Amino acid sequence: MTGPTASTGHADPLDRAQWDLVLREIGAEALRRYAGSYLDLLAGRLDGIERTVAAGGNDEAATIMSDLSASSAMLGARRLAELIGTAEAQLRRGTAGRPSVDTRTLRDEAEDVERALRRAVDELPGPPPVQPPNR
């Protein structure tokens, strides 16, 4: 998992050393569930950031950012965590203003993280969870 990614042109958005550390600490099944929950919530969290910033809810947006930054860092998405942390600090200082939070950059990096996490989850040892049948 090296080389530039499609959206940002940066190297792998997932710090594999951090991913491997968490894997050793909590095991494949727990990591698979945690990463799955993270991925399930990612788009909604980004939408929440955009929505609350646009509405002037900088404190609420900063709270969402803080949570997303921490969970991103835990999984090894350090660049996304840093981008979110910078935007959060700007909001808390009042220097970003409502429209100036660069959500496009956050989304681009989040898309790269999503692809990298899905690959990493697919590579985890053990069987993947059983998917419910389509109805």
User: Could you read off the pLDDT tens digit of each residue along the chain, which spans 135 residues?
Assistant: 344 444 445 589 999 999 999 999 999 999 999 999 999 999 999 999 999 988 888 889 999 999 999 999 999 999 999 999 999 988 887 754 444 678 899 999 999 999 999 999 999 998 766 666 665
**Quick one: pLDDT at residue 129?**
62
Q: Which pLDDT belongs to residue 9? A: 54
Domain limits, the chain: 16-122
DSSP 16-62: HHHHHHHHHHH-HHHHHHHHHHHHHHHHHHHHHHHHHHHTT-HHHHH
Q: What's the predicted TM-score (pTM) here?
A: 0.82
**CB atoms closer than 10 angstroms to residue 46:** 19
What pLDDT, on the 0 to 100 scale, is given for residue 3?
41
Name the nearest CA neighbour of 35 among 123, 131, 134, 108.
Answer: 123
